């Protein structure tokens, strides 16, 4: 199977490359030098010329706070570009897989979010990702929009790596405790995307929006404690409310995603974030 990936250095893109090699897949990953996501027309041109059998968009504008002052760029990368990719894929009957986010919801406390729940992003980043979902669906081709949350890996910048770094420098940390979600290993997201791509190639792909996030749900403070327990770092975690750690963009308090639909459609169970943390620790040794 030939796979075209937008994104090269991000957490999921790197995992896609590593796993495709192990699976014997022909994967081409495009960095900014070959695919500028701020130029939607260029992205469409790449799809029009590819010999790939499936296209995955693993690139995005993810600077949640900076997006508040760069709304046009966030929209260009997170909405206009995937929309152009999806339309080009639809014109060639190529399945298009696109990563989205829990930030499309307003984070109201309660049960885990389902795919058909009303959306209500709290900031520019979430609004741009939701606009991207709308563009992809409107293209009319075979597609999967994969909403996930709290991505981490041994590569790039993420919460796990930040905690391990700070844990080596400090004995006590203050961490937000009223935001709840499912930390998700990038390696599991990559594996899920390649499984879905294979299903489309075999004629078993199911179009739509799907949730895929780690289990069990936990707060940032609880996640930090688990990281330190697994790493052996004796760091005390002081739980604080979000109000004690103000940021330019509001974060959802409830980022828990109901992942029943993807289990039923593709047989993909929620990944264990504990195993993902252990893998990150193993990569550091």
Residue-wise pLDDT tens digits, 153-176: 998 899 999 999 999 999 999 999
At residue 34 the predicted structure's pLDDT band, cuts being 50, 70 and 90, is: confident
Q: What is the pLDDT of residues 66-84, one digit of tens each?
A: 999 999 999 999 999 999 9
pLDDT at 33: 77
- When pLDDT is cut at 50, 70 and 90, the band that residue 135 belongs to is very high
Confidence of residue 58 (pLDDT cuts 50, 70, 90): very high
First to last CA, the chain: 34
Domains, the chain, with CATH or none? 2-157+183-214+257-271 (3.40.50.720)
> Is the confidence at residue 31, as pLDDT, over 90?
no
pLDDT tens for 248-267 read 999 999 999 999 999 999 99
pLDDT of residue 285 exceeding 70: no
Say what percent of the chain tops pLDDT 70.
Answer: 100
Give residue-wise pLDDT tens across range 83-104: 999 999 999 999 999 999 999 9
Positions marked active-site: 125
Residue 8: per-residue pLDDT? 87
- pLDDT, position 21: 86
State the pLDDT confidence band at 41, using cuts at 50, 70 and 90: very high
Q: What is the mean pLDDT of the chain?
A: 95
């Amino acid at each position: 199977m030939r796979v075209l990936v937008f994104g090269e250095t991000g957490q999921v893109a790197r995992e896609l490359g590593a796993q495709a090699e192990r699976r014997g897949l022909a994967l081409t990953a495009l960095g900014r030098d070959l695919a500028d996501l701020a130029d939607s027309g260029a992205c469409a041109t790449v799809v029009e010329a590819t010999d790939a059998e499936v296209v995955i968009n693993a690139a995005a504008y993810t600077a949640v706070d900076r997006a508040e002052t760069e709304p046009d760029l966030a929209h260009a990368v997170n909405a206009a570009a995937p929309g152009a990719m999806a339309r080009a894929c639809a014109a060639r009957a190529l399945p298009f897989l696109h990563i989205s986010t829990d930030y499309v919801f307003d984070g109201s406390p309660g049960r885990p979010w389902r795919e058909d729940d009303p959306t209500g992003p709290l900031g520019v980043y979430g609004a741009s990702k939701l606009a991207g979902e709308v563009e992809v669906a409107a293209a009319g081709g075979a597609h999967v929009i994969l909403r996930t949350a709290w991505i981490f890996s041994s590569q790039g910048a993420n919460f796990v790596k930040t905690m391990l770094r700070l844990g080596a420098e400090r004995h006590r940390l203050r961490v937000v405790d009223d935001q709840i979600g499912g930390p998700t290993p990038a390696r599991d997201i990559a594996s899920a995307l390649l499984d879905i791509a294979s299903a489309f190639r075999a004629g078993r792909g199911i179009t739509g929006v799907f949730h895929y996030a780690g289990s069990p749900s936990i707060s940032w403070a609880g996640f930090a404690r688990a990281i330190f327990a697994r790493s052996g770092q004796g760091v005390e975690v002081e739980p604080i409310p979000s109000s004690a750690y103000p940021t330019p963009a509001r974060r959802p308090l409830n980022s828990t995603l109901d992942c029943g639909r993807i289990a039923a459609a593709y047989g993909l169970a929620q990944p264990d974030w504990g195993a993902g943390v252990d893998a990150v620790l193993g990569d550091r040794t």
